């Protein structure tokens, strides 16, 4: 990924609304800029506070899958506004927490919001996922919450393998396609679509479970756990459509809606399934 990478144009609008202290935006997206998860999706509502709680729940599911323990160094790649780092900071002690993002604006907000509690250490670093500014075998856990589809996965996985200690874990969440969809998605080039590029930037949704397994084998990781949480994330879509109704520019509403409806349709038909994946770096000898 190039150093001149920009966040999707949608982020420019998001930063404007945050700067203007738009109540719904601050509540829903002030800490986390990712999908939510509902334990009872059939009861989901449209309140910003409920969405914020669902985003925290998704964060908790990822952290639970990672099995984070006191004394560990935890790195969140594509950390956004630091919401996952802050969640761990509030829930656990004895952690060294590092958030990495290529967008300095997001890290500026993270540094303003996230302050280490007693017993924890926190730092935020500006860097690409494919060039982690970390020493070899320097951390026990690497997380990536709804960001890996922006990365060069092969380069990222090589870097993760390098920085993890033996026995360490990588836990990420991704929109994982059914095998029957891979060829179509590869040919479609979603990032060439104006609406998708505006709303979500450059994305690659072609990595099926088989592709992840092959990649893990290549870099020397083991695919340990797969958790399909797709059903619990589906209320994200009605909330997003509700949230954008007061946007000023109808072109922005149209582009975001078109891009998001494509994702919703694919997710509801399980052509794409929101999935948490955990990989382990084997212990040697």
What integer best gives the mean pLDDT of the chain? 94
Instruction: Classify residue 130 by burial, with Cβ atoms within 10 Å: 0-12, 13-18, 19+.
Output: middle
Nearest 10 degrees: Cα torsion 22, 28, 29, 30:
70
> Which is it for strands 121-126 and 96-101: parallel, antiparallel or unpaired?
parallel
Percent of the chain with pLDDT over 90: 89
Pick the range with the lowest mean pLDDT from 82-91, 149-158, 188-197.
188-197
> Which domains, and CATH codes, for the chain?
9-280 (3.40.50.150)
Please write the tens of the pLDDT for every residue from 38-52: 999 999 999 999 999
Please write the tens of the pLDDT for every residue from 58-100: 999 999 999 999 999 999 999 999 999 999 999 999 999 999 9
For residue 231, what are its two tokens? 């059903």
Q: How confident is the model at residue 172 (pLDDT cuts 50, 70, 90)?
A: very high
What secondary structure letter does DSSP report for 202?
S
189: left (phi over 0), alpha (psi -120 to 50) or beta: left
pTM value surpassing 0.85: yes
Give the per-residue pLDDT at 146. Answer: 97
Contacts of 157 (CB under 8 A, 6+ apart): 170, 215, 216, 218, 219, 221
Provide the angle, in degrees to the nearest 10, between the axes of the packed helices 104-113 and 9-19: 30
Q: How confident is the model at residue 2 (pLDDT cuts 50, 70, 90)?
A: very low
The enclosing H or E element of 20 equals none
């Amino acid at each position: 990924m190039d150093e001149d990478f920009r966040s999707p144009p949608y982020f420019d609008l998001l930063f404007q609304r945050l700067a203007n202290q738009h109540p719904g935006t601050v509540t829903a997206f002030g800490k986390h800029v990712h999908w939510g998860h509902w334990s009872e999706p059939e009861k989901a509502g449209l309140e910003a506070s409920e969405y914020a709680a669902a985003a925290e729940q998704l964060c908790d599911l990822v952290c639970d899958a990672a099995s984070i323990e006191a004394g560990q160094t935890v790195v969140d790649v594509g950390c956004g506004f630091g919401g996952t780092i802050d969640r761990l900071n509030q829930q656990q002690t004895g952690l060294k927490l590092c958030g990495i993002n290529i967008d300095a604006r997001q890290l500026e907000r993270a540094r303003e919001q996230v302050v280490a509690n007693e017993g924890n250490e926190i730092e935020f670093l500006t860097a690409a996922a494919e060039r982690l500014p970390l020493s070899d075998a320097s951390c026990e856990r690497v997380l990536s919450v709804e960001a890996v589809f922006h990365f060069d996965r092969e380069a990222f996985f090589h870097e993760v393998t390098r920085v993890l200690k033996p026995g360490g874990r990588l836990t990420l969440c991704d929109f994982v396609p059914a095998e029957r969809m891979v060829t179509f998605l590869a040919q479609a080039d979603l990032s060439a679509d104006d609406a998708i590029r505006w709303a979500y930037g450059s994305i690659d949704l072609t990595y099926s479970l088989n592709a992840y397994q092959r990649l893990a084998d290549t870099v020397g990781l083991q695919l340990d756990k797969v958790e399909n949480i797709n059903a619990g994330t589906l209320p994200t879509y009605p909330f997003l459509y509700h949230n954008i109704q007061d946007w000023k520019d109808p072109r922005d509403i149209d582009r975001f809606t078109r891009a998001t409806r494509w994702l919703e349709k694919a997710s509801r038909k399980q052509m794409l399934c929101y999935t948490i994946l955990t990989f382990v770096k084997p212990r040697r000898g």
